[in-house]
Amino acid sequence: IAGKTGTARENAARPNHATFVSFAPYDSPEISVGVTIPHGYTSGNTAEMAGYIYDYYYGHITYEDVISGHARDSGGNAITD
């Protein structure tokens, strides 16, 4: 995929807004994903969420994985703390 992360600070009293925009496959795009989490702290959180969307789109995880909470363990993305 190709993507760009971003954060925006509203003020010092609140966490940053987090954004990630992307498309895939890189050489012949067929899907675009944009994720924004208001007060999401870091754009790494939005990039991780986009990874789950790509995993679902490309069949690496199922709807049942998402509903059951097992998507974090089933997809092709590395999950870090």
pLDDT at 65: 85
Choose among 35, 49, 36, 44: nearest CA to 10: 36
The per-residue pLDDT for range 54-75, each reduced to its tens digit, is 999 999 998 888 888 776 665 5
**0.85 exceeded by pTM:** no
pLDDT at 74: 53
Is the model's pLDDT at 80 over the cut of 50? Answer: no
C-alpha triplet 70, 75, 78: angle, nearest 5°: 110
The per-residue pLDDT for range 16-48, each reduced to its tens digit, is 999 999 999 999 999 999 999 999 999 999 999
